[in-house]
Amino acid sequence: MIDVAGEMRRLGEILIDEGIITERHKVEVLEFQYGIPRYNSIHMKLTKMLPILISTKMARRYILIPII
């Protein structure tokens, strides 16, 4: 978090607002940084096994939300 004019903002948000990167670039960097591929509904199918594969601890750590 970076203090910008008294407002705490994330670096990625600032870079997007300034036109330095796009939202897609930010997602790609976070995907690489955390080692978690982004979900693309065109290429992936969710199964009912997904809640079993992702632990509650991991879901909380990475702020995962169900989209089924």
Whole domain around residue 46: which residue ranges? 2-61
Residue 66 forms part of a structural domain: no
8-state DSSP, 22: -
Residue 23 forms part of a structural domain: yes
Bridge partner residues of 3 (DSSP): 8
Q: Which residue has the higher pLDDT, 28 or 7?
A: 28
pLDDT at residue number 35: 85
pLDDT at residue number 53: 76
Note the pTM of the prediction, 2 decimals: 0.51
Domain count across the chain: 1
Residue 16 forms part of a structural domain: yes
Residue 41 forms part of a structural domain: yes
Q: Is the pLDDT of residue 67 over 60?
A: yes
In this structure, what is the dihedral angle of CA atoms 10, 16, 19, 25, given to the nearest 10 degrees? Answer: 120
Residue 31 forms part of a structural domain: yes
Residue 39 to residues 6, 10, 14, Cα–Cα distance (Å) = 34, 22, 24
Q: How far is residue 61's CA from residue 68's CA, in Å, rounded to a whole number?
A: 20
